[in-house]
Amino acid sequence: MKDTIEIRWHGRGGQGAKTAALLLADVAFKTGKYVQGFPEYGPERMGAPITAYNRISSSPIRVHSNIYTPQYVVVVDESLIGAVDVTAGLREDGAIIVNTPKSADEIAPLLNGYKGKVYTLDAREISMQTLGKNFPNSPMLAAIVSVSGVMNEEDFLRDMRGEYEHKFAKKPEVIEGNMNALKLAFKEVTK
């Protein structure tokens, strides 16, 4: 599956990593791609480490397993570095994106010798600015789209607006905040 992008998400229960993976699958599907988006749980409780996955391809996807050698890893909670091997199997021709106020140069030494690209984004700060609460999943979702190039920004933002309008039909006041979080993350993700 040469044209398949594989992404592994690391987060904690309640941070939205699973939701972000599912939203990415939904919006990529709308662009005509074949997609998979699914979580893997350990103990199901708030704050417990969780892993979620995406496969996105121009061809039908015939593999139905976890992703062991992803091109991209998204770390929604920096505290997982060291607690979980976030770089396990991560291909060096891909990248890792970490939610942190630190620079990529500060994070790289903590990544078990990973030699690929390292990107950082302060998703907490972005979500506090745009939503007034720490919901890092929207900024991290925009960051992986930006870094991976899985779809263009304009299509992504248009389709995400539709997803948010559906998801937050009873809370429309959060739609603009989430849209602003996405736009800001596109500008601020750094290598």
pTM: 0.94
Whole-number pLDDT of residue 3: 86
Q: Does residue 42 have a pLDDT over 70? A: no
What tens digit of pLDDT does each residue of 71-87 get?
999 999 999 998 999 99
Q: Does residue 40 have a pLDDT over 90? A: no
Whole-number pLDDT of residue 87: 97
Is the dihedral angle over the CA atoms 82, 84, 88, 92 positive or is it negative?
Answer: negative
Residue 121: CB partners within 8 Å, gap ≥ 6? 97, 98, 99, 100, 139, 140, 143, 185, 188, 189, 190
What tens digit of pLDDT does each residue of 93-151 get?
999 999 999 999 999 999 999 999 999 999 999 999 999 999 999 999 999 999 999 99
What tens digit of pLDDT does each residue of 45-55 get?
677 889 999 99
Which DSSP category does 80 fall into? G
Strands 5-12 and 49-57: antiparallel
Q: Which tokens sit at 8?
A: 């592994």
What tens digit of pLDDT does each residue of 1-11 get?
568 999 999 99
Strands 72-75 and 5-12: parallel
Which DSSP category does 151 fall into? S
Q: What average pLDDT does range 20-44 have in this prediction? A: 89
Q: For residue 69, name the pLDDT band (cuts at 50, 70, 90).
A: very high
Whole-number pLDDT of residue 173: 84
